Chains A and B, each alone.
Chain A
């Protein structure tokens, strides 16, 4: 983990991502007339530093709008960061030539939340799973059938399904197809964005079991994004808690769930429903996640924090290393 000597497989350095809402034509004209109208900017990610080592599963948790999906998409190469660098096995992704970056691109796969929109409805399962390995020369097109016969059963799909279309499957089976598609190119790294959120509990358990079995078998590393903290705890080696585009705490799963440090993490953990918590009197954190258009000054969490101090409103807290291997971004430490 953080004390490890080997090089990280993926390293993000000072990654920021801003989404800008461009001015419409009226606003442009008005601003030409000398009125000051500025573009609206969302700081989806603010100075993110993150390392993921070989074979490691890093869980990312946070509420909607905290930037966890944006982070996943940037790592998967779907989005470009506005600032900062991404290193893959020590190489800056920007410095690679076209062939090299193609090779890197297939090493990093992504599985999406909604298996109803992530699979092309006009393609058969054989094309969905087989397209990438053929295009990238991993297999010849004549070997596809054999390849699918091996791959589909380990994802819990009957090889006879390969000539069906996505609409002929249930949500759980579609997610299995999406997983098979990502495994088809033998990736080193898989970004999982809320992969079990849309599934029923019993199906969710099947998919989580399959994910963990494949991880042991194939040894890929993963960024596992979920708003469900019990799922995160179950699959991750290390966990990152995000709030409004910033990482507020990072620790090994065991340490984090044993002793959360950041007031936000503590509040989140208090609210995880569980079988053990019966007939409780709910006591919520006050307020909602503020709009990312207008994040609060200083520490973003201060308006909702039970331990806020004068300084929290004025200054952004620094990221502090605690107990040698955990990071926390809070003025209390």
Chain B
């Protein structure tokens, strides 16, 4: 397949929430790059800021949240400088988003065809009939049988997996260059998850769509993504190719995450869990926010670690990265 290479560059993104309890730095200096046809996995636990990162790129952060700094460059244009009207035209056409719960993102009182035609007409000058046939085609592409009949259905008439396919079909309608997927398979059974991953993978490789896959599940990222970024307390703490990060994790948090997942050959043995829990992001003290839970922490960690590149194309934000070990056993 031939497609023009595009890039979406997020540089030094900061999204803060000014709450009554204090300032919450939900996204703090996050930088990454998406390229056509590539999949970046953004991994983190609840409250790490991964979803807010996705929403910030889409310009969907509501007050009290504000993007306070950073750039999001798409085709030499900073998305953050767009007016609301320009942004509305841009969203959905160039970058689309898939949410975790398709029941929440689809309108329950409108039929699927209405919602799909609306999406097409918002960005293209297209007749109703042409829009309908394009919608039916989109449903076929995501593996929904009998699309003509299914177009007449309401969201509640679909199963969870089918609804998520509809959400994917809607996201793909205007052939966006990039898709941001926020935990789209989290509440879904493993067999249906594989079906969704299959459809997403097929669409990305056929159409050259670049994908940001936001998830808490490192094992899915292992199978799907080309690159991975690990988030903790609003910051990306490690970034690199999937093979580098999973085989030779540098950050103690990444190591802990990998060891927390039950592995095939360690049945019944205690898991190497990470002690404690993630800190509250309200008025987070300076320094490495992982230090309270980190086995390697010392006085140095009271200072914010900078991004370093101890291994080629493998970045980490840590004073004591695991550069010495030969991998996670």
Contact = CB atoms under 8 A, between A and B. Distances in A.
A302 to B, nearest CB: 16
B218 A204 contact: no
A279 B272 CA distance: 26
B11 interface: no
Interface in A244-293: 253-254, 257, 267-268, 271-285, 288-289
A244 to B, nearest CB: 13
Contacts of A234: 262, 266-268, 271
B193 interface: yes
A229 interface: yes
Nearest to A204: B260
A203 to B, nearest CB: 7
B78 interface: no
Interface string A275-318: 11111111111001100000000000000000000000000000
B55 interface: no
A213 B223 CA distance: 32
Most buried by A among B162, B194, B243: B194
Contacts of A131: none
Contact of A208 (B159, B218, B243, B271): B271
A195 to B, nearest CB: 14
B220 interface: yes
A275 B263 CA distance: 9
Contact of B261 (A230, A268, A277, A282): A230
B218 A268 contact: no
Given A282-B201, A288-B161, A275 B194 contact: no
Contact of B273 (A209, A227, A257, A280): A209
Contacts of A93: none
Contacts, number: 133
A279 B242 contact: yes
Contacts of A274: 219, 222, 263-264
A231 B242 CA distance: 23
B264 A257 contact: yes
A200 B256 CA distance: 12
B252 to A, nearest CB: 12
A26 interface: no
B93 interface: no
A77 interface: no
Interface stretch (B16-24, B129-137, B184-192): B184-192
B190 A229 contact: yes
Contacts of A267: 191
A200 B222 contact: no
Given A283-B198, A284-B191, A170 B273 contact: no
Interface in B202-251: 216-220, 222-224, 226, 242-243, 246
Interface of A: 63-64, 170-172, 200-206, 208-209, 212-213, 227, 229-231, 233-235, 253-254, 257, 267-268, 271-285, 288-289
Given A234-B266, A275-B218, A279-B223, 4 more contacts: A200-B45, A205-B259, A205-B272, A284-B198
Which 6 residue pairs of A and B lie closest in terms of their CB atoms, listed nearest first?
Answer: A205-B273, A234-B262, A205-B260, A273-B219, A282-B198, A284-B195
14 contacts: A202-B45, A205-B260, A206-B274, A208-B262, A208-B271, A209-B271, A212-B270, A257-B264, A271-B191, A271-B193, A273-B190, A281-B201, A282-B198, A284-B194
